[in-house]
Amino acid sequence: MSMTNLRRRLHHGDVDGRKNEHVDISHIDSLNEPLLEKSSSDSGGSEVYDPKRQDLWDDDRKKEQLHWSFLFSNLIAQWAQWLANIIVSSGSLFGRLFPFSMDSQNSSPVYLSPLQEDRLNTLRSRLQIPFDGSRIEHQDALRQLWRLAYPNRDIPPLQSELWKEMGWQGTDPSTDFRGGGFISLENLIFFARNYPGSFQALLNKVQGQRADWEYPFAVAGINISFVLIQMLDLQSSVPSSKSGVRFVELLGRDENAFDHLYCVAFRLLDAQWLVKRASYMEFNEVLKSTRTQLERELVLEDVLEVKDLPSYTMLDK
């Protein structure tokens, strides 16, 4: 419908203090389409304007109708805004007393049981420990990893070309940890102890058709630890992402859920590496797709522990 020069001015006198309230409709040149369709009983002829009908529209009645329509609309708008503020306000008393689920990942409050909170705090304390090559216990952990990886070989010095065989980038493994922290070394040791079959297969790249330029095993492990920490929102006071919330549930059933999930992630990364026929320069892309797959699996309804993840079946002990 097109209109030319149609103007309506509404003065709300009773609201802002003025007493005169009226509707002014002027300068209506033409209407190209009917405002209302004619009923079937219409004869089709033009309707003659009757000045007497104007008496039916009493000025006071018009003002009263417009006034109450305006107030009612205003009331509805204010009520809707008030309700929306309650819903989106995470700190509101209503939100704390009556938590509910929403599509937004960050809207639902998470309540931890004492067991979950204790295990989450323990995991966070592990995250705070940086790798320090000068600490004896960290040096011993590196030697332990070598014994698990190569049980029939002598342990090399902490700075040696032999460490490159495990997938460290330099002769000194301590320079490769960076933001991974000591937990990433603990994850590698846990993988070697609990799933030696998969650990050895990935370390020695014995499965599938491999690229000429493969990903470095040890450094890949450090990257996986870092990605899991981000994905599970472990740096927040309380995880709020969907994956993080589900992980807290898994942690309540298994205090080693993070380490088991690490092993699943490493095995999944290698499987996707082979499927994509990737090479070293595509490592970040494969790591990203691995994270995406884990996020999908973690939110499955029937996943009650890490061993319920579909990708867990790929692990060999």
pLDDT at residue 108, as a whole number: 58
pLDDT at residue 60, as a whole number: 52
* Closest listed residue to residue 262, CA positions, set 213, 214, 195: 195
- How far apart are the C-alpha atoms of 240 and 96, rounded to whole Å? 15
pLDDT at residue 64, as a whole number: 54
Q: Is the whole model's pTM more than 0.85, yes or no?
A: no
Query: What single DSSP character describes residue 204?
Result: T
- How far apart are the C-alpha atoms of 204 and 167, rounded to whole Å? 10
pLDDT at residue 132, as a whole number: 95
- How far apart are the C-alpha atoms of 193 and 270, rounded to whole Å? 19
C-alpha distances in Å from residue 273, one per residue of 67, 208, 310: 69, 10, 18
pLDDT tens, N- to C-terminus, the chain (317 residues): 444 433 333 334 443 444 444 434 333 333 333 333 333 444 444 444 444 444 444 555 555 555 555 444 445 445 544 544 443 343 333 333 333 333 334 445 678 899 999 999 999 999 999 999 999 999 999 999 999 999 999 999 999 999 999 999 999 999 999 778 999 999 999 999 999 999 999 999 999 989 889 999 999 999 999 999 999 999 888 888 899 999 999 999 999 999 999 999 999 999 999 999 999 999 999 999 999 999 999 999 999 999 999 999 999 98
For the chain, which residues make up each domain, given as ranges? 114-314
pLDDT at residue 267, as a whole number: 98
First-last CA distance in the chain: 73
pLDDT at residue 20, as a whole number: 43
pLDDT at residue 237, as a whole number: 81
Written as one letter, the residue type at 185 is: L
- How far apart are the C-alpha atoms of 136 and 268, rounded to whole Å? 33
- How far apart are the C-alpha atoms of 6 and 25, rounded to whole Å? 7
- How far apart are the C-alpha atoms of 119 and 288, rounded to whole Å? 27
pLDDT at residue 124, as a whole number: 95
pLDDT at residue 79, as a whole number: 52
